[in-house]
C-alpha cells in the first residue's frame, strides 16, 4: 500500500508541477499581450478583454498547481481538497461556457456586427476621441487590406479625404489592382472589403483555437481530479 501511495503521490506532484508551469506560461504570455495592445486599446477592445481573462486564468492555474504540489508532498488532505474543489469549479465553468458559446454562436456574431455598426459614427466624427480611434483603425485597415467597418469606404463619410481620414490606409498598393480586391472610389482605388469580415473571421479562427485548448485542458483537469481524489482517499485510510 505504501508503494502505491508513493507512486500516486509523486505522480500527483509531477502533474501539478506541469500544471503550475502551464499556468506560469499562460500568465506570462497574457501579460505580454496585454502590454503590447495597450497603445491600440480602441481597436483591440475584444483582445484586451481576452488578455485580461487569460491573466486571471493563468493566476488561478498557478495557485491550484501550487496547492496540488504541496498537498501531494506534505500529504495534506486540506490542500488536496481545496485543489479538487477549485479544479472541479473551473471544469464546470469551462463546460458551461463551451455549451453557451456553441448555443449562442450565431447571436454572438450578430452582436459583433451590431457593435461595429454602432461604431461607424466614430469614422465620421471629428472629435478627439474619434481621431484616436481613426488612427488605430487605419493601421488595422492596412494590415488586413480592408476599408471601413460595415459598408466599405463610404463609412468614412466626409472624413475620407481629410488629414486624419482613410484615403491613404484604404488605398490599394498595386497600380492595377484586381477588381475582386479593390474598387474605384473618389478618384482612387481602395480596398473593397469592409473590415467587418476581417474582424469576424479573426474571431471565428480564434474561437476554434480556444475550443481546442479548452478540450485539451478539460482532459488534463479530469486527470487531475482523479489523481487528487485517489491520493486524498489513500491518505485518509492511513
| pLDDT at residue 55 in the model | 79
Binning pLDDT at 50, 70 and 90, where does residue 51 land? low
List pLDDT tens digits, range 91-122. 887 777 777 766 766 676 777 788 788 788 88
Name which of 230, 238, 237 is nearest 80 in CA terms.
230
| pLDDT at residue 59 in the model | 85
And the C-alpha cell for 4?
A: 502505491
Beta strands of the chain (E only): which ranges?
182-185, 188-191
Residue 41: phi, psi to the nearest 5?
-60, -35
| pLDDT at residue 45 in the model | 55
| pLDDT at residue 161 in the model | 74
How wide is the angle at C-alpha 99 spanned by C-alphas 49 and 62, nearest 5°?
50
Phi-psi category of residue 176: left, alpha or beta, with phi > 0 → left and psi -120 to 50 → alpha: beta
| pLDDT at residue 33 in the model | 67
Torsion of CA 45, 50, 56, 57, to 10 degrees: 180
CA distances from 2 to 7, 79, 231, 235, 237 (A): 9, 20, 12, 10, 11
| pLDDT at residue 50 in the model | 62
Q: Which residue has the higher pLDDT, 217 or 238?
A: 217
* Cross-strand pairs, 190: 171, 183
Instruction: Say how far apart CA 19 and CA 188 lie, in whole Å.
Output: 55
CB 90, CB 65: distance < 8 Å:
no
List pLDDT tens digits, range 134-158. 888 888 888 888 888 888 888 888 8
How wide is the angle at C-alpha 190 spanned by C-alphas 189 and 195, nearest 5°?
165
| pLDDT at residue 46 in the model | 53
Q: Which residue has the higher pLDDT, 42 or 212?
A: 212
Question: Hey, is 90 helix, strand or coil?
Answer: helix
CB 216, CB 206: distance < 8 Å:
no
Is 50 exceeded by the pLDDT of residue 3?
no
Please state the rounded mean pLDDT for residues 164-189: 74
Binning pLDDT at 50, 70 and 90, where does residue 43 land? very low
Instruction: Say how far apart CA 216 and CA 200 lie, in whole Å.
Output: 24
| pLDDT at residue 42 in the model | 46
Amino acid at each position: 500500500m505504501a508503494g502505491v501511495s508513493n507512486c500516486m503521490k509523486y505522480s500527483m506532484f509531477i502533474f501539478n508541477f506541469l500544471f503550475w508551469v502551464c499556468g506560469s506560461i499562460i500568465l506570462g504570455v497574457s501579460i505580454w499581450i496585454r502590454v503590447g495592445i495597450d497603445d491600440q486599446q480602441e481597436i483591440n477592445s475584444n483582445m484586451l478583454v481576452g488578455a485580461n481573462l487569460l491573466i486571471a486564468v493563468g493566476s488561478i492555474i498557478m495557485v491550484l498547481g501550487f496547492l496540488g504540489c504541496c498537498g501531494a508532498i506534505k500529504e495534506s488532505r486540506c490542500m488536496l481538497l481545496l485543489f479538487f474543489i477549485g479544479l472541479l469549479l473551473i471544469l464546470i465553468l469551462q463546460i458551461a461556457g463551451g455549451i453557451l458559446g456553441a448555443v449562442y454562436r450565431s447571436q454572438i456574431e450578430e452582436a459583433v456586427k451590431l457593435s461595429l455598426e454602432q461604431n461607424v459614427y466614430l469614422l465620421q466624427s471629428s472629435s478627439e476621441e474619434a481621431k484616436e480611434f481613426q488612427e488605430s483603425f487605419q493601421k488595422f485597415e492596412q494590415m488586413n487590406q480592408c476599408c471601413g467597418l460595415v459598408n466599405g469606404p463610404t463609412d468614412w463619410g466626409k472624413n475620407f479625404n481629410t488629414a486624419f481620414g482613410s484615403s491613404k490606409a484604404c488605398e490599394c498598393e498595386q497600380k492595377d489592382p484586381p477588381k475582386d480586391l479593390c474598387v474605384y472610389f473618389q478618384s482612387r482605388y481602395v480596398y473593397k472589403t469592409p473590415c467587418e469580415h476581417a474582424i469576424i473571421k479573426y474571431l471565428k479562427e480564434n474561437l476554434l483555437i480556444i475550443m481546442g485548448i479548452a478540450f485539451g485542458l478539460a482532459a488534463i483537469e479530469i486527470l487531475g481530479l482523479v489523481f487528487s481524489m485517489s491520493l486524498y482517499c489513500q491518505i485518509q485510510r492511513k
